[in-house]
């Protein structure tokens, strides 16, 4: 079996994202794969419903700009060009599937917090990505800094 050639790394840009990126970098280095980074932002209207009597477009744009800057910082030293750094509005699992398919990825790497109880019932991005991906998915168990 040959190694991976094109890896999409889904990052939530939390403190733990560095653990996901480190694991993906190791795999890419071993297999000579190129990496792409993705951060998906759910539209604020999804989170708050359409009932907010104010224009959230400026706030949404600020969130996207901050995410782009964080991806730039995360990619430093990894030789990931800006054209392979994606900040997308939408539902995370759906958009990760779309990006992976459009860019011909053969591996998706995401973080998994291993939540339990109510958070597990509500589902997780990692679970959504796993069930519907057209390629391999690696869910990296991340640990909070206090663990």
Q: How many distinct structural domains can be found in the chain?
A: 1
CA distance 20 to 8: 11
The first and second tokens of residue 112, run together, are: 């998994």
CATH number at residue 112: 3.40.50.620
Q: Is the confidence at residue 68, as pLDDT, over 80?
A: yes
The predicted model scores a pTM of 0.86
Q: What is the pLDDT of residues 74-130, one digit of tens each?
A: 998 898 999 999 999 999 999 999 999 999 999 999 998 765 554 444 457 888 898
SS3 of 145, please? coil
Output the furthest CA–CA distance in the chain (Å, rounded).
55
Residue 47 per-residue DSSP state: H
Looking at residue 46, its pLDDT comes to: 58
Residue 54 in domain? yes
Question: Does a structural domain hold residue 147?
Answer: no
pLDDT band at 73 (very low <50, low <70, confident <90, very high): very high
What does the block give as tokens for 77?
Answer: 């030293």
pLDDT in tens, 21-36: 999 999 999 999 999 9
Helix axes 57-75, 17-31, angle to 10 degrees: 50
- The predicted pLDDT at position 47 comes to 55
Separation between Cα atoms, residue 101 and residue 28, nearest integer Å = 18
Question: Which tokens hold the place of 36?
Answer: 């792409």
Percent of the chain clearing pLDDT 90 (strictly above): 61
Q: Within a domain: residue 115?
A: yes
Q: Residue 25: inside a domain, yes or no?
A: yes
Q: In whole angstroms, what is the distance from residue 124 CA to residue 114 CA?
A: 9
């Amino acid at each position: 079996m040959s190694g991976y050639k094109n890896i999409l790394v889904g990052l939530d840009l939390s403190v733990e994202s560095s653990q996901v990126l480190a694991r993906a970098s190791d795999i890419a280095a071993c297999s000579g794969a190129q990496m792409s980074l993705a951060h998906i932002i759910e539209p604020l209207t999804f989170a708050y419903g359409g009932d907010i009597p104010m224009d959230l477009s400026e706030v949404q744009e600020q969130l996207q700009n901050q995410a782009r800057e964080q991806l730039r910082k995360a990619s430093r030293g990894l030789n990931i060009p800006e054209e392979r750094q994606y900040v997308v509005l939408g539902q995370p699992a759906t958009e990760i599937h779309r990006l992976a398919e459009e860019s011909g990825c053969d591996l998706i790497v995401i973080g998994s917090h291993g939540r339990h109880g109510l958070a597990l019932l509500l589902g997780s991005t990692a679970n959504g990505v796993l069930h519907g991906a057209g390629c391999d998915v690696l869910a990296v168990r991340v640990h909070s800094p206090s663990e």
